[in-house]
Amino acid sequence: MKLIENTEGLDIDIISGELDDNFSDLVFNTKKVVKDCLFVCIKGRNFDTHDAIDEIVKLGAKAVVVEKDIKRDDICVIKVDNTRAALARLSAAYFNHPSKKMKIIGITGTKGKTTSSHMLKKLLEQNAKVGLIGTNGITIGDIHRSTLNTTPESYELQKTFKECLDAGCEYVVMEVSSQAVMLKRIEGINFHIGIFTNISPDHIGPDEHKDFEEYLMYKSLFFKQCEKTIVNADDEHSDYVLKQSTSNEKYKFGKTGDFVINHINYISDKDFLGTSFCISCSDVIKDKYGIESVGDILVGIPGEFNVYNALSALSAAIICKVEPKVLQSALKDIKVNGRMEVAYSSHDIKIIIDYAHNAISTESLINTLRQYKPKRLVVVFGSGGNRSKDRRYSMGEICGKMADFSVVTADNSRYEKTEDIIADIVEKLSATGGKYITIPDRKEAIFYAIENSKPGDIIAIIGKGHEDYQEINGVRHHFLDREVVEECLEKMNEKN
């Protein structure tokens, strides 16, 4: 296929050989080289494929795309400013620009991307077929598969867009990480809507961003690719994001703005744990999209921050002209695996599964669940091995101070001993005077919490969320908190 000719926004310089634009394939992995392919050299964290051109030539590539001054007599060398950006634009051409034939909606932020994207998918799919790409994997209709990254590499991303298009999707909702922006994975994509949930210091370190300013900058760069921008007005950095945005339409949601939260109620019924609230819209939204307000919206995931997640999704859905009646009820039964997931709800007890795995997220979770006035709040948790010990110390201290009872257990111990991690947690937890028990086996710990529950309890099982494995000594064993909860409840029912 003619690839260079069909690639948009790509400036090239032929520095050796002659270009024959008929390629058999587009490749950037040395293990996937095929005869007459176009190979894009990428400098990765551990390996630079610019150094493997001898091997690439031997395997039959017709040309290589580079960002370094490399001249050879045995292959056509095409130089570009940035090979990651080139890979993204070439990949779009290779799959015949699928994103142009759908509406792509991207969601970025430190927290809330996964939940908001699932909520928006649920809202939009009342009227259309929707693809989903994010932390919890890729979903196209009934097909679901996992991903290595929140936002896949550009080739995989464009391939997924093509699959979505072939499946009849009108929309694709995707999470956009700051790493994806920095590594040019979304280069050249025109987003119908971009959503900013919030930002706080995270993903800062040697292999990520050098500081918060860089992290914020890359988050904001995303909005230069969006036709419409929606930001959380209650985040202190929202005005900065709006200033960086080049969108034709810019809107705010929150306690002020174009989509305003009103009348939040925290509901804990026999078969429902969540919130209800109303939205009032600005005159701009009323005039442009014909909606003044939406009342009595039910969201089946607990907490105020999930009201914000829902509001971000609802704002985008209003712009996409989803009917108010659909908006009111579509999120009542929403579930996002491992994100404040209500795994069980009855008159006596409620069980929550969440990914909270540091002090900030654990404190937020406990404060959220306190809004539902449980008689006891029981937290089942551990901490990951081969990670900063501050995380386990702080989680122990938070749970000791804020939970009514803690069940301290295993998480992903990796190459540490579970007992050593638990001892570190207990060192800080016991100093608070909080009540606790230690049960190293995570399955036994979950069974204990449920079997010894009391009427009015909320049990929060945290740390692993959507993960379907436990990593022990470098080996991943199948383990999913939700399955353990279901097994325990089933056995208890059999006894009764």
CATH of residue 232's domain is 3.40.1190.10
The answer to whether residue 336 is domain-embedded is no
**Residue 406 marked as a ligand binder:** no
Q: Are strands 130-134 and 137-140 parallel, antiparallel or unpaired?
A: antiparallel
Of 405, 271, 449, the C-alpha closest to 344 is: 271
**Residue 115 marked as a ligand binder:** yes
| Residues 35, 89 within the same domain | yes
User: Measured between alpha carbons, how far is 190 from 101 in angstroms, rounded to an integer?
Assistant: 11
- pLDDT value, residue 495: 83
| Residues 91, 226 within the same domain | no
**Residue 112 marked as a ligand binder:** yes
| Residues 82, 184 within the same domain | no
The answer to whether residue 125 is domain-embedded is yes
**Residue 432 marked as a ligand binder:** no
| Residues 81, 108 within the same domain | no
- pLDDT value, residue 201: 67
**Residue 389 marked as a ligand binder:** no
At residue 3, the 3 state secondary structure works out as: coil
**Residue 246 marked as a ligand binder:** no
**Residue 45 marked as a ligand binder:** no
- pLDDT value, residue 45: 83
| Residues 135, 64 within the same domain | no
CATH number, domain containing residue 348: 3.90.190.20
At residue 364, the 3 state secondary structure works out as: helix
**Residue 111 marked as a ligand binder:** yes
The answer to whether residue 377 is domain-embedded is yes
CATH number, domain containing residue 29: 3.40.1390.10
Number of domains in the chain: 3
| Residues 33, 58 within the same domain | yes
> How remote is the C-alpha of 147 from its chain's centroid?
11
| Residues 81, 209 within the same domain | no
| Residues 304, 385 within the same domain | no
| Residues 151, 294 within the same domain | yes
Domain final position from 95, 121, 156: 95
**Residue 113 marked as a ligand binder:** yes
- pLDDT value, residue 46: 87
At residue 170, the 3 state secondary structure works out as: coil
| Residues 127, 71 within the same domain | no
**Residue 496 marked as a ligand binder:** no
The answer to whether residue 335 is domain-embedded is no
The number of beta carbons lying within 10 Å of the beta carbon of residue 185 is: 26
User: Measured between alpha carbons, how far is 317 from 323 in angstroms, rounded to an integer?
Assistant: 9
User: Mean pLDDT, consecutive 10-residue segments, the chain of 496 residues?
Assistant: 95 95 97 97 93 97 96 95 98 98 97 95 96 95 90 97 98 96 96 95 67 90 98 97 97 98 93 94 97 95 95 98 94 93 94 93 95 97 94 97 98 97 98 98 98 97 95 96 97 87
- pLDDT value, residue 1: 86
Burial degree of 178 (CB within 10 A; 0-12, 13-18, 19+): buried
Residue 330 contacts residue 126 (beta carbons within 8 Å): yes
Domain final position from 34, 66, 95: 95
The answer to whether residue 380 is domain-embedded is yes
With 0.75 as the threshold, say if the pTM is over it: yes
| Residues 284, 247 within the same domain | yes
**Residue 177 marked as a ligand binder:** yes
**Residue 106 marked as a ligand binder:** no
**Residue 30 marked as a ligand binder:** yes
| Residues 347, 478 within the same domain | yes
- pLDDT value, residue 490: 96
Of 6, 190, 39, the C-alpha closest to 101 is: 190
411: domain range? 341-495
Domain final position from 330, 363, 380: 330
